[in-house]
Structure 1
Amino acid sequence: MSRRRALIVGASRGLGLGLVARLLERGWDVTATVRRPSAALADCAGMGPLRIEAGVDIDDDAAVAGLRASLAEQPDFDLVFVVAGVATQAGIPAGLMPRATAAAVFQTNALSPIRFAEAFHKRVAPDGLIVLMTSKLGSVSLNRGGGWGSYRASKAALNTLARSFAGQHGGAAWGLLLMHPGWVRTDLGGRRATLDVETSVRGMVAVIEARSGQRGCVFLDHTGATVPW
């Protein structure tokens, strides 16, 4: 039986790094991208088959095209997981945030993951998954208290673009999963968060493995529960 293959985009630290480690533990072959070399990621090489692609910024179309060319001779992936995202000045109300900052957040969190998916969907194996890291904060129906307005809006936009992307590729042999990892103690989530990285990634990998072969577009959390749109 052939080993499952994963492409993790944004793996230098936090959830991306944790996903690489967990997938290697589970017997996957992993290709991981980073913008800059990561010693922590390099340390994962002893855990299993790991290929690291540095210099990949999802906001840089030329870098994404270069990655696609670099991986052209590799077998297709059972999982393409875009983890990368930002929360720049998230505490500032959107109406007070510099326009350039808001536009940059939208580009990285909403537009660039979809552009990456468009660039790589033909490299997803039949019955594979494209997974985009989103957040429960992107749920419009759950937004009752406000706060983190630009971040919420960027993730809501990602969710909408993902639904459109799935519709445009309705006959595809892969599924699309929007994943909320929980509130995790990372640089983005902060020290008050309720989950550690290991708990979150164990849950996410379990959900991913359980959804192998399933089509359509769903919005789930790390426990497999559906998140309202």
Structure 2
Amino acid sequence: MADRKNALIVGASRGLGLGLVETFLQRGWRVTATQRSPSPGLAALASDALRVETADIDDDVAVAALHDRLSGERYDLVFVVAGVATQAHEPLHAVPRDVAAQVYLTNAISPIRFAEIFLDRLAPKGLVAFMSSILGSVGLNESGGWENYRASKAALNTLARSFEIRHRDAGLGVLLMHPGWVRTEMGGADADIDVPTSVAGMTDVIEGHLGRTGCVYVDYTGKTLDW
């Protein structure tokens, strides 16, 4: 199918990333999915429409090698899902400096660097999406907690807006996505929604934004969030 959409899902070994891969495949997309180590979940989805690659977004050499391996691909969507929540429940002063810095690097710096490197793999009027969080909203922070994680996602939001402005002439769209509070390893068993509900909503939002330009910050239902 010459008109089949093509997605690159970064950080797809489990949870939301894996759910997104499954959903896009079900909707007829071709998908390239990345894992840091072999993923049984991705292996179970094996098909002609799925390509699985191994790379860590914090490893510049690995990302550059992935870029080379995918030289023949053009993606309608590049979605960086990968992120960490190390010691997220502890106040900032209780988190060792190296741990706090690594969360910031993985959640804010590495996604933008990845998008920059892969910009030439984006199809015309393509969409770059980043897995953000409502916790990254400064205006909606009325409960505190998750301090370092919140700050890393707020930084991602700021950097993504700057990324879109810097590349505005390229005609791409940038989507910052809050998946909802989801029952995953990160979200916990008491979360509001399950993975299928979240990824179906996010996929709807993504498909609705294809071809649009600008930078938006929305949840899995398409609702715009306060910065």
With normalisation by structure 1, the TM-score equals 0.97
CA distance in 1 between partners of 2:184 and 2:24 (Å): 19
Give the equivalent residue in structure 2 for 1:99.
97
For these two proteins, the number of residue pairs brought into alignment is 226
**2:180 is the alignment partner of 1:182:** yes
Unaligned runs of 5+ in 1: none
Q: Which amino acid aligns with 1:43?
A: A
CA distance in 1 between partners of 2:71 and 2:116 (Å): 15
Q: 2:159 aligns with which of 149, 158, 161?
A: 161
CA distance in 2 between partners of 1:227 and 1:173 (Å): 23
1:1-229 map, 5 Å: 1-46=2-47, 49-54=49-54, 56-74=55-73, 76-229=74-227
Q: Deviations over 1:5-36 (max 9, x none)?
A: 00000000000000000000000000000000
Segment of structure 1 superposing worse, 114-123 or 14-23? 114-123
Cα offset, 1:172, TM superposition: 1.4
CA distance in 1 between partners of 2:80 and 2:46 (Å): 20
Q: Is the 8 A contact 2:164 2:172 kept in 1?
A: no
SS of match in other structure, 1:102: helix
Cα offset, 1:173, TM superposition: 2.2
Give me the CA root mean square deviation: 0.8
CA distance in 2 between partners of 1:20 and 1:133 (Å): 14
CA distance in 2 between partners of 1:103 and 1:186 (Å): 24
Q: Which amino acid aligns with 1:22?
A: T
Q: Which amino acid aligns with 2:63?
A: V
CA distance in 2 between partners of 1:192 and 1:172 (Å): 42
Q: Deviations over 1:206-225 (max 9, x none)?
A: 00001111000000100000
Q: Percent identity?
A: 62
SS of match in other structure, 2:218: strand
Post-superposition, which runs of at least 4 consecutive aligned residues in structure 1 deviate over 4 A? none
CA distance in 1 between partners of 2:43 and 2:179 (Å): 23
CA distance in 1 between partners of 2:77 and 2:140 (Å): 29
Q: Is the 8 A contact 2:130 2:176 kept in 1?
A: yes
CA distance in 1 between partners of 2:223 and 2:170 (Å): 24
Unaligned runs of 5+ in 2: none
